[in-house]
Amino acid sequence: MNNNKQHILVTGGAGYIGSHVVLALLDAGYKVTIFDDLSLGFKSNVDERASFIQGSTLSESELDQALSQGIDGVVHLAAFKAAGESMTNPEKYSTNNMTGTLNLLNAMTKANVKRIIFSSTAAVYGYPMYLPVDENHTLKPINYYGYTKLMVEDVLNWYSELKGISFAALRYFNAAGYDVDGRVPNKEKNPANLLPIVMEVASGMRESMLVFGDDYKTKDGTGVRDYIHVTDLADAHVKALEYIDEKKENLTVNLATGVGYSVLDVIKSAEKVTGKKVPYHIVDRRPGDPDELIAISTKAGDLLGWDAKHSHIDTLLKTMWTLYKKD
């Protein structure tokens, strides 16, 4: 099937990752409709080439209406993702991440839409038993957010067997950065991740930041993570869609770089990129934070021809600073 004739529905397409995925799909020649309730997204993130429907995955009628427009496949990004919040408000995550996805799959079944790309997460693995983490690692989430994503992966396997739905589950590691061409105008809402917090300090939105622990078994004592540029993530969604279309088989892959940066690496790089000081205070570790978390994406490279082209820490921070320095 020709890309130019394929119509893709992107749930959560006005959000941080979603707006970048929409750009990648449009650039690849797909027709795109965004389905978003704007709880975490922005109407101004919607590219003029895309259609927009304001709706919720909790509304079966809104999903039915969206999927009645000749949709060929779905990219499902609508979810809450704050791991800490999921431990204090599991109801919110059950409803949105699990019930919303079940509603979507049922609506897809009714509309005879047979392909879905699902945004999963590194949180399905839990505490790393070995490094780098590959797709064969034990699945043992240590937060409820990770559990909701793992449950959806299980449901996708069942719907594939029972309803003939083809899927790709993409296990993201730490997404960061903004469109390398500057086409996404809005910063992520309520970020809780390291890189945006560093940017907020550099831009003066915060006076300083906390570094949780300096006694890890790493080169400088601070935690090490694997950061991936959101443009690289978006590219993987397009390649995954092409893969399940051509190969007619399901796919579960990590999206990571295999390179780790410590918290202090990120702060030093941010100071270099921005020319600003990033004051910080060392405090106690947070419970459940591993020393190091990096992953291998050989499978995505082999099957999709994908690699991370924009994920050097300086590139990540430069694309972020373009937005943050305006404040």
**Mean pLDDT taken over the chain:** 95
Which run of H or E residues covers position 118? strand 115-121
Q: Which of 251, 259, 255, 296 is nearest to 133 (CA)?
A: 296
* pLDDT for 190: 79
Residue 110 has pLDDT above 80, yes or no: yes
The full set of domains in the chain, from first to last, is 3-176+228-255 (3.40.50.720), 194-226+258-324 (3.90.25.10)
Q: Residue 189: pLDDT band by 50, 70, 90 thresholds?
A: confident
Torsion region of 140: left, alpha or beta (phi above 0 gives left; psi -120 to 50 gives alpha): beta
Residue 283: is it exposed, middle or buried by C-beta count within 10 angstroms (0-12/13-18/19+)? Answer: exposed
Reported as a single tens digit per residue, the pLDDT across 22-58 is 999 999 999 999 999 999 999 999 999 999 999 999 9
Q: Is the pLDDT of residue 4 over 70?
A: no
96 pLDDT exceeds 50? yes
Instruction: Quote the distance between the C-alpha of residue 276 and its chain's center.
Output: 28
Structure tokens at 32: 């795109």
pLDDT of 1: 44
Number of H helices, E strands in the chain: 11, 14
Digit-coded pLDDT (tens) for 81-91: 988 899 999 99
3-state helix, strand, coil in the chain (%, to 5): 40, 20, 40
The model's pTM: 0.96
pLDDT over 70 percentage in the chain: 98
The answer to whether 227 is a known catalytic residue is no
User: For 299, phi and psi rounded to 5 degrees?
Assistant: -65, -45
Q: How far apart are CA 14 and CA 77, in angstroms?
A: 10
pLDDT digits (tens, 9 = 90+) for 55-70: 999 999 999 999 999 9
Query: What residue type is 78 in one-letter code?
Result: A
pLDDT digits (tens, 9 = 90+) for 112-134: 999 999 999 999 999 999 999 99
Query: With contact defined as beta carbons under 8 Å apart, do 253 and 272 qualify?
Result: no
Q: Which of 16, 93, 145, 227 is catalytic?
A: 145
* 3, pLDDT greater than 60: no
